[in-house]
Amino acid sequence: MSDNDRVQPGKVPGSCGCGPGACCPSTNGPEVASGVTGTDKRLSCDCTCSCNGPENELKSEIQDQDAPNTTNSPVITPVSGTLTSRDTGGHVLARFGQNRSGHRVPPGLYSLGSAGPDSPVIVTANYILSFDAVRSSLTGSDAYILVLDTKGINVWCAAGKGTFGTEELISRIHKTRLSSVVNHHRLVLPQLGAPGVAAHEVHKATGFHVEYGPVRASDLREFLKERIATPEMREVKFDLWDRIVLIPVELRSAALYTIIAAIALWFVGGWMPAAGFLAAVLAGTVFFPVLLPYLPTTDFSTKGLVLGIIVAAPFAALVFLTTGPLTPLWVGIIAAIAIFFTLPAITAYLALNFTGCTPYTSRTGVKQEIYRYIPYMVGFAATGAVCAMLLEITKLLGMW
């Protein structure tokens, strides 16, 4: 999978209906992107298949299904449920926010295995991690994946933004001519996409019934056996691993500014302010998501503030206790205050970034928290900055 809106479909027998050198399937049925037509498994030896051969590598890449379709047949792209090392590498880049907008697949209709008229239709976002989670969970299954154009955003966030929504779902059903591909009229949507979709409007406009599957794609195979989601499948757990995978992108976003600021602080005030600043940033980007359930209070800002105070305390105490015997006491006090107010503000602000990544908050709650606590963070940081400047000014004036 490259970063340029492409994924690699399966290159095993069955991905296009035949193996290398075998007869092509008959030409009755929907058109697939590789050029092979038909879901009818009867063979016709008018041609031989080379879609799995090295000479057809370029043709195996997924094509944009939003491109004009000059035929009356649905365009269906076959994909494999097996992820490659290239896919895994792309996932790592996505986790670190590298080429963030490039980790997407073209919206449209995809097939797994030997999908046919009675195969289930799973709906997901065109964010590559969402798409790959669905297809890899259904390895060995026969199914269709209907990919909506969510602008490269995952299901949960896209549902909140409206791109994984009623209008896009209706549009995608019509564009892919889904009603001519399957005999049934049932769609399986991820549970976390429910806020963006009005099921009754979808049914009214397309005739398709919407049913909500499990929270996690890994439960899809079990869900499809009985079409029943257990309470465990419905639960949003947000466990330690779910929180840890959020760390890389936050670290990358803050890395450049953190390095520049730490170097500047080193030259201006020495190792102490530089180390304190690095500790505050690490607390807000690394330790906060790990410790999230265990920090007191309910708001992310105050949780971050508590963590920031814990981080700042040893630095403030150290700078106070290491003040020389010839230095006035007030210098140590002001220096400690500068640290004690500045570092928690940094940690709290970075912690606020996680409000959109967890099941603990709502859009309304996030807005309220921002308006409520940002002024306090600014006040804390301003107080620390004033104390730091006061120390520098008095030092230049020879007062200590």
For residue 25, give the H/E element and its range: strand 23-25
Contact (CB, 8 A) for 220 and 137: yes
Residues whose CB is less than 8 angstroms from the CB of residue 363 and which lie 6 or more positions away in sequence, other chains included: 160
In this structure, what token pair is assigned to residue 306? 């508590």
pLDDT of residue 348: 95
Q: At what angle do helices 363-396 and 329-352 cross, to 10 degrees?
A: 160
pTM over 0.85: no
The residue count of the chain comes to 400
DSSP summary character for residue 101: G
- In single-letter form, the type of residue at position 3 comes to D
pLDDT-above-90 percentage for the chain: 58
Cα gap 90→387, rounded to integer Å: 46
Q: What digits encode the pLDDT tens for the residues 299-345?
A: 899 999 999 999 999 999 999 988 878 889 999 999 999 999 999 99
Q: Assign domain 74-236 one CATH number from 3.40.50.11600, 3.20.20.480, 2.102.10.10, 1.10.10.10.
A: 3.40.50.11600
How far does Cα 288 stand from its chain's mean position?
18
Q: What is the average per-residue pLDDT within 42-58?
A: 35
Q: Which of 281-285, 293-297, 388-392 has the highest mean pLDDT?
A: 281-285
pLDDT of residue 65: 57
Q: Which of 39-48, 68-77, 379-388 has the highest mean pLDDT?
A: 379-388
> What is the Cα gyration radius of the chain?
28
Q: Which residue has the tokens 């879901």?
A: 39
Cα gap 268→385, rounded to integer Å: 13
pLDDT band at 21 (very low <50, low <70, confident <90, very high): very low
- In single-letter form, the type of residue at position 8 comes to Q
How is the chain split into domains, by residue range?
Answer: 74-236, 242-396
pLDDT of residue 69: 57
Q: Report which of residues 100 and 213 the model is more confident about.
A: 213
Cα gap 349→59, rounded to integer Å: 48
Cα gap 95→85, rounded to integer Å: 15
